[in-house]
Structure 1
Amino acid sequence: MKHNSYVYPIPNPLWIEKLCRWADFHFNFFAYTNGNNHEYPESPFTTKFYAGNRQLAEVEIWSETTHIKKVGIIGYDFKNRLEKLESKNPAFFDLPEVCFFTPSFSLELLGEKIFSAVELTEEFWKAIEEIPLPTQSTTSCSVFPQITREQYLFTVKTIQDHIIEGNTYESNFCQAYSGGFDTWDPIAAYFKLNELSSMPFSALFKAKSNWLVSASPERYLKRTGNKIIAQPIKGTIKRGESAAEDLHNKETLANSEKEQAENLMITDLMRNDLSMVSKTGSVNVTELFGIYPFPKVFQMISTITSELKDDVTFSDIIQASFPMGSMTGAPKIRTMEIIEELESFKRGWFSGTFGVIEENGDFDFSVIIRSIIADIELKKLYFGVGSAITFDADAAQEYDECILKAKAILEVLSGK
């Protein structure tokens, strides 16, 4: 959008939150994406804002002839349309498996400037400025884990038995926290979460009464022309409290044979997925086991790129690669069956994907992790955390990793 002629300064630091509150009042759907200026391979999310009232029918989402911008979510349970799979675990509340809208209003925010394809009227600026910010936002919500630590440890042992039997090599087992509330402010929760844990794929998404408050560190897929990029994350360690401890933890993760083995399995899985829609010989691992710093953790990230076959569609790419291997394990289909047997909840939007499809077919999608999912009308919310279970995984350490991943969200929901 930066080539468009209308450029404005961002009036003040609170203006973006006011913009979101204005959109919440006027639109059924809106989204705000924020890359937080991360130095991320192949770039983080661009910082953009979209709002609209028209939800897309599924035929429009998958259509290659409908050249409109599309913003939205594909939930994890969309897997059941791609393979002979089921989702029988209880849902915290109903969510659409696929939910996209087309924006009637959009902005790009770069540095201290706003870029717009249309001239912004005085009435618009006045309306945003007059939006009141709450003096005391409610982000607190009592949440409870759906399984105990003992149940978690027992389930890890069950997965390792499956590994011994040859049913899976690696399974991403997830647990959930859920809660209810009288009042809860998703916009305030987003800005607080982004302050605590500013991530390269941060996003706030409203779809009528459903909300996604996301601090995702992970890209699912990005398409630029005929180039496709996947960036699975496998490997986590906490940040140190001193520079020396920070460096030690970073080197510990970088040299961990266990974490490398986990990462390599998913990298190979993604290479195989992309090969189905890519030109022969074009799939390359451009970075293996890269270590990247985030506010509370270091992550091990690998980057796979390829050149798409001619006439490959968005639907073809989703069919070949969804759900992302980092949230399932390998082999993918049998492992998803095991996950369904052992998890206690229907994932819904968690571990699905959120993103934007441009008018020309380019797109960028994140993995929905480190994210709160809420229904404001039903006054319920939940979030999930997981880790990769392998044969040599230590169940207690995996549980601690889940708690580490949940830390920023729990701080937001504590209301402190």
Structure 2
Amino acid sequence: MIVQVNDLPNFKNKALQWASSFDAICYLDSNSFDDPYGKFDTLIAVGAKAELTAYSGNAFDELETFRKNNRGWITGFFGYDLKNEVENLSSQNADYLQFPDLYFFAPLHLIVIKGNNAEIVSDHTNEVLKQIDQQGLVSQPATNEVRLQARFTKQEYIDAVESIREHINRGDIYVTNFCQEFYAENVHIDPLSAFLQLNTISPNPFSTFFKWRDNYIIGASPERFLAKRGNKLISQPIKGTAKRNKDLTADELVKQQLRNHPKELQENVMVVDLVRNDLTKSAKPGTVKAEDLFGIYSFRHLHQMISTVVCELQDGLSAIQAIKNCFPMGSMTGAPKVSAMQLMEQYERSKRGVYSGAVGYFSADDDFDFNVVIRSLLYNAGLRYLSFHAGSAITYHAEAEKEYEECLLKAKAILEVLGG
């Protein structure tokens, strides 16, 4: 069933309100960003007619089997610690959220919105539309007052960055992504209202509201990890960040400075090389190329430097194997990739879990699209534990104080939602 939607914001709000009563929801919103690779403006997958929960060890193989048994749309996430299945790595840091490493579900109901048309895919389309129409609108509450704590003091963070730079000086690694966790214990939030508030403050092209039972991913990601369109793979790593200026002339200058900043260019070209190398594992020989290098994209609070790397998929290689070959995404690891992940396991103080992982979908035609889980709140309502991470790239030229400020800049929208 395809219906024309006259008031799209209200329809999406009501559809989310209706969906929130189910144990499994995946809501993906492009927020009207222009994306040549986007299949839709908004996707809402609701209810699980089949689901897979898996942990690092054999998770990708389990997903291959699940996918063969569920050939339509499926949605879900990959946790960062699947790195231990891809490479000979381990995770010893504490896991406070206790999310699985992988979760996917085949939805009972699917709503695909493009323009003003909403396609409802369900065995009960009329009932779905009726229940959505009957919903009241979800209001955004006053700012949540959450008492946040940090795993690092500012000085501890600065000391850790200086130690990491010593590894770079010795040639152990070239670049890494060092992340810190901010968290709150014994806390209650309204996840849906928090998402609506975050999506208003920071509307981004890969925004996510994901729920399975008492666990939530509330995301405002600007970054695409990997997409498949036909036989083409697309990755769009972000490296390079600058704070926006309210004055238009000054803001344009900020963009030019970002585009020509030696450190930001160095970070970006390093991750492009890493992504090119990852894609080579899945590509037809000679097809890996940078389609767009050092592109500057503007968001509500930030300008970001984003490059687009593409290739043609090898014949006979499964979509899931292509994801495994690139996982985790280079923008969240460093180079050399394995050495950087090993080193960050030593310096970081909590398990990343879904942060640095990916949320997205496989469509009925076997295309897929997954974001990078950044700028995201993770919440376990059963444990009453709330968490978000922020990270930045550490290179030889990194200044620890500025890297700390960049972490706070990236967390600005989340901090606003949480009242801090």
- TM-score per shorter chain, which class? over 0.9
Tell me the equivalent position of 2:333. 328
* Equivalent residues in 2 for 1:13-412, closer than 5 Å: 13-25=9-21, 27-40=22-35, 42-43=37-38, 46-53=41-48, 54-56=50-52, 61-63=63-65, 65-66=68-69, 67-117=71-121, 123-133=127-137, 137=141, 140=144, 141-412=146-417
- In 1: Cα distance, 2:8 partner to 2:222 partner: 27
Pick closer, same or farther for the CA change 1:136–1:275 going to 2, 3 Å. closer
CA RMSD of aligned residues (A): 1.9
Q: Secondary structure at the match of 2:207?
A: strand
Q: Secondary structure at the match of 2:417?
A: helix
- In 1: Cα distance, 2:220 partner to 2:180 partner: 18
- In 2: Cα distance, 1:192 partner to 1:133 partner: 14
Pick closer, same or farther for the CA change 1:41–1:172 going to 2, 3 Å. farther
Range that drifts further, 312-321 or 147-156? 312-321
Counterpart of 2:14, as a letter, is K
Q: Secondary structure at the match of 1:184?
A: coil
Say whether the 8 Å CA contact 2:226–2:323 is kept in structure 1. no
Deviation at 1:92, TM superposition (A): 1.8
Range that drifts further, 194-203 or 102-111? 102-111
Counterpart of 1:246, as a letter, is D
Deviation at 1:115, TM superposition (A): 1.8
Tell me the equivalent position of 2:56. none
Pick closer, same or farther for the CA change 1:116–1:44 going to 2, 3 Å. closer
Q: Secondary structure at the match of 1:103?
A: strand
Measured against aligned partners, the alpha-carbon deviations of 1:62-98 in whole angstroms (never above 9, x if no partner) come to 2363313210000000111111111111112211000
Deviation at 1:110, TM superposition (A): 2.4
- In 2: Cα distance, 1:73 partner to 1:138 partner: 30
Deviation at 1:52, TM superposition (A): 1.6
Deviation at 1:396, TM superposition (A): 0.8
TM-score by length of 2: 0.93
Measured against aligned partners, the alpha-carbon deviations of 1:86-119 in whole angstroms (never above 9, x if no partner) come to 1111112211000111111001122333222458
Say whether the 8 Å CA contact 1:262–1:388 is kept in structure 2. yes
Corresponding pairs, count: 410
Deviation at 1:166, TM superposition (A): 1.0
Range that drifts further, 179-188 or 282-291? 179-188
Say whether the 8 Å CA contact 2:223–2:238 is kept in structure 1. yes
Pick closer, same or farther for the CA change 1:324–1:135 going to 2, 3 Å. closer
Identity %: 40
Superposed structure 1 runs of 4+ greater than 6 Å apart: none
Say whether the 8 Å CA contact 2:37–2:229 is kept in structure 1. no
- In 1: Cα distance, 2:364 partner to 2:131 partner: 29
Measured against aligned partners, the alpha-carbon deviations of 1:312-362 in whole angstroms (never above 9, x if no partner) come to 113321332100000000000011000000001100100001110112221
Counterpart of 2:331, as a letter, is S
Deviation at 1:191, TM superposition (A): 0.9
Counterpart of 1:62, as a letter, is E
Counterpart of 1:109, as a letter, is I
- In 2: Cα distance, 1:82 partner to 1:122 partner: 44
Say whether the 8 Å CA contact 1:44–1:201 is kept in structure 2. no
Q: Secondary structure at the match of 2:20?
A: helix
